[in-house]
Structure 1
Amino acid sequence: MKRILTTILTTALSLAAAAQSDLDARAQKVADRAIEYLQSQQHESGGWSHREEGPNFPAITGLVVTGMLLDPDIDATDTHVAEGLSYILSFRQDDGGIYDRILASYNTSICLSAIALARGEMPEAEVGVEPAVAFLRELQWGSSASLPAAMQDEAKPVAREHPFFGGVGYGKHGRPDNSNLTFWLQGLEDAGVPGDDPAVQRALVFLERTQMNASTNTMPYAEGSRQGGFIYATSPSAEEHELGIGESKAGMIEESFSDGTTASRLRAYGSMTYAGFKSYAFANLEQSDPRVIAVRAWIAQNYSLDENPGIGTEGYYYFILVFGRAMNAWGEQYVSVLKEDMMFRRDWAQDLVTKLEELQQDDGSFEIVDERWMEADPVLVTAYSLIALQNARQELRSRH
């Protein structure tokens, strides 16, 4: 009997190892094909999605380079990567930012991630890291925000009670949002800023206020809400009459409260929820923290890679990006999923690899599913997908 049990166990372990090896190979194939496609799309300037007339978005090149540098077989000496990094650094400004006239926070944050990953092999990249970090710190609402007059819409000093406190935005709408904040935090993390840094802790205030969870969020728009997921911003604009009313790109949802009543509340949705979940990991929140418990409950009830949950196909590949980063950051193989009042476990990395296999086209790019938020650009959606995939591959390698 003992010999039979040993044989069964050995066979099971062999099958599991074979399945793991097959998944690794599948993930590498998708990554290799995506990288080949991106290499074929590099502009003679060294960048991607370059526009001769400008202004340019060096952030797109930053995303491509980041995806490549996350590959275990590629470093900053790779010709495509080195040219991409030089392109990024050509947009360095005297204020430390990396941008071309517009969207200073978005471009600098994403480019910082790329050059920070290359700092050990490229001295020019190393030189750009700390000035970019210092510049980004000035873009946070509630910091000293000592920006030049031309950039005063980016951020201003505000008290903790202000709805904008701790946030980061594009500038053009005059208010911060979670999309910019997650890239901003990712850039700081990649540059080596610790999770207990005061800037990160200020960001937690904004994150709490965009989580639809009444037990931890005192904003009026979250009253009674038990969704647990995140919305886009605390305000749709900087106009006085819109301060603190919240904003969700997913519209409204009818919620039932503990006292039996119902009311319309801003709907939490996938991309912002995983962005918030990732940011909580960087800020070193514990598993037992009520904010983490609440967001996990939302994920359990809304887990899907077929859409950006709550909003459909809009921003789908951005959702894939933050999903991969968030799940990898928490370092867990399985995610708990609630289906028909029963809890199941899903291997998130396997699910992600399988979904990206389905979406990858013959040329290595990924199928366009929605054109909103620049996702008609195959380079952008392929870069998003590659970064998500590289995070899944990191998780898969940790299992060996």
Structure 2
Amino acid sequence: MRASVVDAASAIANRTLAPMILFERRLRVLHALLLSAVLFGTFMQRDLAAQTPPAVATAQANTGPIIADPPGVNFGIVEPGVTVSATIKLINPLDRPVTIKIAQPSCTCTSVDVTGKVIPAKGMLEMPMSMKTPHSVGPKTAQVQLVFEGFNQVLKVRIDAETAYAVRANPAFIDALAPERMKGFFELSAADGTPFMVLSVAGKPALTADGKPMVAAARQVVRYDFTPSASAKVPPFLIVETDHPKCPVLDLRVRHETTRIAPALNFAEYRENVGLSAKGASSEFEIEIKHMAAARVSGVTSLNPAAKTELLEQRSDGDSLMVKVRFTNVSLPNGVFLFPCQFTSGAKAADLWLYGTVRAAATSTTPLTLDSRIDEKKLTTLAPFAHDGSVRSAPPIAVLRIATRATDLAMTEETYNAARLAIDRGLAELARTQSANGKWFEGTEVTPTDMQPRQRAASVAVTAMALKAFAQLGEASDARAQLQAKSAILAVLSNAAETDAVVNGGLGNYVMSAIASGLATVGDADATAATTRAIAWLRENQWDDAEGIDPSKDWFGGAGYGNSKRPDLSNTQMMLDAMHDAGVSHDDPAFERAVAFISRTQNRSATNPAKWAENGANDGGFVYTPANGGESFASDAAGEGRFGEKMTTKSLRSYGSMTYAGFKSLLYAGLSPADPRVQDALEWIGAHFTFLENPGLGQQGYFYYIHAMSRALQASGLASIHDNTGRSHEWRSELINALVTRQRANGSWKNESDRWEESNETLATIYAVLALEEALKPAPSLK
């Protein structure tokens, strides 16, 4: 019976689709004939030109000694808005080296960095190339032209890709020009073979070809019906909502007499898919406007009051203008949406259509598809996380400036002045060692946990941290050093190749978190726009169901260094620091997801079902990561193995820096001080309260520990901490005294332990100055 129903449905679909498919084939034939005519004319022109030799040789000749292997790259079908990369071998058959004089991409979406590099004699040079695909669907072609010193050769290397959503429509448009075509069928198929269901079509429940209930499948034939719109305007795009994890919504262009588009501005695409949107959340997109020359866009206005659009930046790309826009869901109701936003340029105005969907909760009934970068064997499945703590609606507001007087802190003048002097001396040393490019750490190798040494990315992150240290002084800051650091960071973000290098090189979360915090502290218009971009990247980098990680997995809600690395509490707390400093609401889904990960990092069996927590001290402290079965550097320092692998019954040790990281992250996420997780963390802090070392690790990571401690205690609003003997500690004064005592004669700080780069004076000094500034910030108010 089931087979006969399916066969009947297929027959109906085939009979209905047949005229459309025949029409499409005729169009293709016509297109081929026209193309043949054009090519014939082109060939005739070439033949005629060949009969008359050129007067002079031209540098555009593509003949020369250097060979590209392969001569080009075709990435095939890829998702919109991703970066694809490949490496081309440049082969030099000559007996002498050849220098690359120019390597010029055809557009800013393409990155290559080999200008000035030398191809050895009878050797080869690897040329990494990358291309950022547009957010729209369709073919994308780019090209890199190379010129070599001493030769007229222009070597062209082409990159091709076709962007497509994970669910594709056939046909890609709805032809509703004739009255009989105002209703019909179209086909959807999952490129990856994942079974899915169609949730809605044009905002209404989806109907299958035979009218039967929909069953998850990799191919669906779905009805459309515009006849109720006969007396009104047919929508320019048919919006289709699915439960496919990689394609929540897609569109089909509708051809109808009421849907002709003739805008005053020549958009490359006339609609933008903003995807799955949550109330209060923001996202960014970039669109191309062709034939703009020197013209600029003066404004972008949403024509739907429930959403907001803002012009962020614009840049020329040949004759086109690339425009970046921020979209904010202010109060869009649940379900799909489609509305125009108006672009203004001089006396011209044109509409770009925005579409997406708002969901109250996940509606997928199909299993999540695990990201191919993840080794499923390393994942641990636990009981799905439940928010069982009391979550308040008023977490602490970020304080981004120090107090200007001691009376604002209930602190003695002597202690305040000692802290200010130490800060000024530290910043003076940083200003002295700042490079001509406005950066710090240039050329310094950094070896983070589980990663290869990195240089450029670490320099950008450390520069952003230093920028924050200067900016938090407000008007008392060294304006020159601050401006140079800010300009250096914005220069990186404005260069696609530089940005890709730092975020895709394995330290993306570390870099973008530091950038967001630093620029949020500066707070001017261009810094704020760049902060928003960084926060958007951090949201994407968080491990969640978009990568096939459901709430039962120990990776869920965490952030790692980037580039597929497993999450850890250090990176997660940096991400949340950035969101907190940038003013992201604690209601943001990223915070809620993070609470699951943070809770699973705590040595607390009542809320952490992991085996290592059930077997552990149950002391309320935190470890490095719960992922892959859990890790703790304190366990390693105690001789029990970083993974607890040297113990008969595995458990993991809590330690200082991670406990302060977990404590403040729970506060930033909106958990109440009365929440048992927060209370137990504070109890651990009291039992191990010290400025002499990083409890559990000794001097390893001491300045990182002091910085995490200062942010945590400032966020708590507590003026003092009681240790396990009942003694009260005024943490601000004790922290200041501890760091002033450790300050060196030249104003810097340095850790004799070289773990995590703290033997480098620059990094240790930045941590120390930031910690002192936290001690001089007033207690936070509540949101």
Could you say which TM-score interval applies, normalised by the shorter chain? Answer: 0.7 to 0.9
1:38 corresponds, among 423, 430, 435, to 430
1:118 corresponds, among 522, 525, 535, to 522
CA distance in 1, matches of 2:767, 2:777: 16
- The farther-off stretch of 199-208 and 93-102 is 93-102
CA distance in 2, matches of 1:264, 1:279: 26
Q: Secondary structure at the match of 2:651?
A: strand
Q: Per-residue deviation at 1:308?
A: 0.5
Residue 417 (structure 2) aligns with = 25
Q: Are residues 397 and 209 of structure 1, via their aligned partners in 2, closer, same or farther at CA, if it must alter by over 3 Å?
A: closer
Matches within 5 A, 1:153-232: 156-171=547-562, 174-224=565-615, 225-232=617-624
Superposed CA offset, 1:323-351 (max 9, x none): 1110101111101111xxx3111011111
Residue 152 (structure 1) aligns with = none
The one-letter amino acid of 1:99's match is V
8 Å CA contact retained: 1:98, 1:111: no
CA distance in 2, matches of 1:110, 1:318: 14
1:301 aligns with 2:687: yes
Q: Are residues 97 and 297 of structure 1, via their aligned partners in 2, closer, same or farther at CA, if it must alter by over 3 Å?
A: farther
Q: Per-residue deviation at 1:169?
A: 0.2
Q: Are residues 281 and 18 of structure 1, via their aligned partners in 2, closer, same or farther at CA, if it must alter by over 3 Å?
A: closer
8 Å CA contact retained: 2:603, 2:622: yes
The one-letter amino acid of 1:110's match is A
Q: Per-residue deviation at 1:294?
A: 0.7
Q: List, as ranges, runs of 4+ consecutive aligned residues in structure 1 with deviation greater than 3 Å.
A: 72-75, 93-98, 395-398
8 Å CA contact retained: 2:516, 2:534: yes
8 Å CA contact retained: 2:457, 2:501: no
CA distance in 1, matches of 2:558, 2:701: 21
Residue 534 (structure 2) aligns with = 132
1:363 aligns with 2:746: yes
Q: Per-residue deviation at 1:263?
A: 6.0
8 Å CA contact retained: 1:97, 1:131: no
Superposed CA offset, 1:110-136 (max 9, x none): 11111111123xx32122121111111
TM-score, normalised by the number of residues in structure 2: 0.43
Q: Secondary structure at the match of 2:772?
A: helix
CA distance in 1, matches of 2:580, 2:716: 14
CA distance in 2, matches of 1:287, 1:179: 22
Structure 1: 5+ residue stretches without partners: 1-16, 145-155, 236-242, 255-261
Residue 491 (structure 2) aligns with = 90
Q: Are residues 78 and 46 of structure 1, via their aligned partners in 2, closer, same or farther at CA, if it must alter by over 3 Å?
A: same
The one-letter amino acid of 2:692's match is D
Superposed CA offset, 1:183-221 (max 9, x none): 111111111101121110100000000000111111111
Q: Are residues 397 and 128 of structure 1, via their aligned partners in 2, closer, same or farther at CA, if it must alter by over 3 Å?
A: closer
Q: Over the residues paired in the alignment, what is the CA RMSD in angstroms?
A: 2.6
Matches within 5 A, 1:277-292: 277-292=663-678
8 Å CA contact retained: 1:97, 1:108: no
Q: Secondary structure at the match of 1:385?
A: helix
Residue 5 (structure 1) aligns with = none
Q: Per-residue deviation at 1:387?
A: 0.7
8 Å CA contact retained: 1:333, 1:395: no
1:109 corresponds, among 506, 513, 535, to 513
Q: Secondary structure at the match of 1:31?
A: helix
Superposed CA offset, 1:285-320 (max 9, x none): 111100011101111111111000011111111001
CA distance in 2, matches of 1:397, 1:24: 18
Residue 269 (structure 1) aligns with = 655
Residue 443 (structure 2) aligns with = 51
TM-score, normalised by the number of residues in structure 1: 0.82
Residue 379 (structure 1) aligns with = 762
1:81 aligns with 2:482: yes
Q: Are residues 18 and 287 of structure 1, via their aligned partners in 2, closer, same or farther at CA, if it must alter by over 3 Å?
A: closer
Superposed CA offset, 1:48-76 (max 9, x none): 1112995342110011111111124445x
- The farther-off stretch of 49-58 and 128-137 is 49-58
CA distance in 1, matches of 2:668, 2:476: 25
CA distance in 2, matches of 1:314, 1:173: 27
Q: Secondary structure at the match of 2:726?
A: strand
CA distance in 1, matches of 2:501, 2:733: 35
Matches within 5 A, 1:324-343: 324-338=710-724, 342-343=725-726
Task: Identify the structure with the greater strand proportion.
Answer: 2
Residue 708 (structure 2) aligns with = 322
CA distance in 1, matches of 2:410, 2:745: 27
1:249 aligns with 2:641: no
Q: Per-residue deviation at 1:100?
A: 5.9
Q: Per-residue deviation at 1:87?
A: 0.8
Q: Secondary structure at the match of 2:535?
A: helix
Q: Are residues 18 and 64 of structure 1, via their aligned partners in 2, closer, same or farther at CA, if it must alter by over 3 Å?
A: closer
1:69 aligns with 2:471: yes
Residue 60 (structure 1) aligns with = 462
Q: Per-residue deviation at 1:172?
A: 5.8
Report the identity percentage.
Answer: 33
1:313 aligns with 2:714: no
Which of structures 1 and 2 has the larger relative contact order (alpha carbons within 8 angstroms, sep 6+)? 1
8 Å CA contact retained: 2:691, 2:735: yes
8 Å CA contact retained: 1:335, 1:345: yes
Q: Are residues 294 and 18 of structure 1, via their aligned partners in 2, closer, same or farther at CA, if it must alter by over 3 Å?
A: closer
Residue 99 (structure 1) aligns with = 502
The one-letter amino acid of 2:522's match is A
The one-letter amino acid of 2:465's match is L
Q: Secondary structure at the match of 2:727?
A: strand
Residue 215 (structure 2) aligns with = none
8 Å CA contact retained: 2:623, 2:632: yes
Structure 2: 5+ residue stretches without partners: 1-408, 446-454, 640-647
Q: Per-residue deviation at 1:264?
A: 5.5
Q: Are residues 97 and 59 of structure 1, via their aligned partners in 2, closer, same or farther at CA, if it must alter by over 3 Å?
A: same
Task: Identify the structure with the greater helix proportion.
Answer: 1
Q: Secondary structure at the match of 1:99?
A: helix
Q: Secondary structure at the match of 2:551?
A: coil
Q: Secondary structure at the match of 2:723?
A: strand
Q: Are residues 69 and 56 of structure 1, via their aligned partners in 2, closer, same or farther at CA, if it must alter by over 3 Å?
A: same
8 Å CA contact retained: 2:751, 2:758: yes
8 Å CA contact retained: 1:116, 1:125: yes
CA distance in 2, matches of 1:290, 1:334: 20
| Alignment length (residue pairs) | 351
Q: Per-residue deviation at 1:276?
A: 0.6
Residue 776 (structure 2) aligns with = 393
Q: Secondary structure at the match of 2:427?
A: helix
Residue 236 (structure 2) aligns with = none
CA distance in 2, matches of 1:55, 1:116: 22
CA distance in 2, matches of 1:124, 1:100: 20
Residue 8 (structure 1) aligns with = none
CA distance in 2, matches of 1:193, 1:97: 24
The one-letter amino acid of 1:107's match is V
8 Å CA contact retained: 2:612, 2:650: no
